[in-house]
Amino acid sequence: MKKIKHTRMCSLLIGCTSAFLILLSACEKEKVAPPVISEIRNYAASPADTVLQTLAVDQWVVVLGRNLGDVSQVYFGTRPATLNHTLLTDQSIVVKVPAIPFDSVATNKLNTVTVVNSSGSASYTINITGPPMITRVRNYAAPPDDTVLNTISPSQKISIIGYNLKKATAITFQGVEADLTGAVYTDSSVVVKVPDSFAGADPALANKITYTTSIGTATFSIRIF
């Protein structure tokens, strides 16, 4: 009788141990690894699915890497993108770059794509651009003479400050185009000379700078005389 009880106890113990090991193995298999980003490509058929060095607002892209199937959020700068989970696989995420308030995103976060899942996050540095934005105009001079301007005059050399200002296709002052031959650009500024004359200016654009790139147009109000 004791032998039978002992055998039953051993069988029960073995059964419980086996069940525990199976459950533990299942849990280990279900554990999600942190995501990894390897590159970002244009979302298009080959050969247009090129690796990107710059992203633009409203552009569809493919984030490539590992452990991406369980990603819950993708951020461009600090702006969350809208995710369609049917467009996620373990190796890729198809997503649209959202509108970004460039003037309210910290500089160290602006050119960063971040993906997040339950086990962690991964960040990828890439230039992110959008329509131009002008925040102020400065006198072009060495400090302390590089003051913020409220008024500009013909032939004056100025620094236009803002975001996404590289590669302007046109800069106009009251509708009169500036000569961009000698313009000096960074992502956040351009040095340009105000036109010598406003003959032919558009009255509807009085006291306005209009800044155009391949992505969009910005208008900035400032007194011009």
Same structural domain for residues 88 and 16?
no
170 contacts 214 by C-beta, under 8 angstroms: no
Task: Name the token pair of 108.
Answer: 């160290």
Residue 13 has pLDDT above 90, yes or no: no
Same structural domain for residues 119 and 140?
no
Residue 76 has pLDDT above 60, yes or no: yes
Confidence of residue 9 (pLDDT cuts 50, 70, 90): low
Task: Name the token pair of 132.
Answer: 């131009």
Residue 94 has pLDDT above 90, yes or no: yes
- Count the domains in the chain: 3
Same structural domain for residues 213 and 163?
yes
Single out the residue in 97, 129, 161 at which a domain terminates: 129
Same structural domain for residues 181 and 147?
yes
Residue 24 has pLDDT above 90, yes or no: no
Single out the residue in 109, 129, 149 at which a domain terminates: 129
Same structural domain for residues 137 and 123?
no
Same structural domain for residues 119 and 200?
no
**Spatial distance between the Cα atoms of 164 and 187, rounded to a whole number of angstroms:** 5
133 contacts 212 by C-beta, under 8 angstroms: no
Same structural domain for residues 40 and 123?
yes
Single out the residue in 129, 156, 184 at which a domain terminates: 129
Please report, for the domain that includes residue 174, its CATH number: 2.60.40.10
Same structural domain for residues 125 and 40?
yes
Q: What is the β-pairing status of strands 157-163 and 189-193?
A: antiparallel
Average the pLDDT over 72-89 and give the result: 97
Structural domain that includes position 17:
1-31
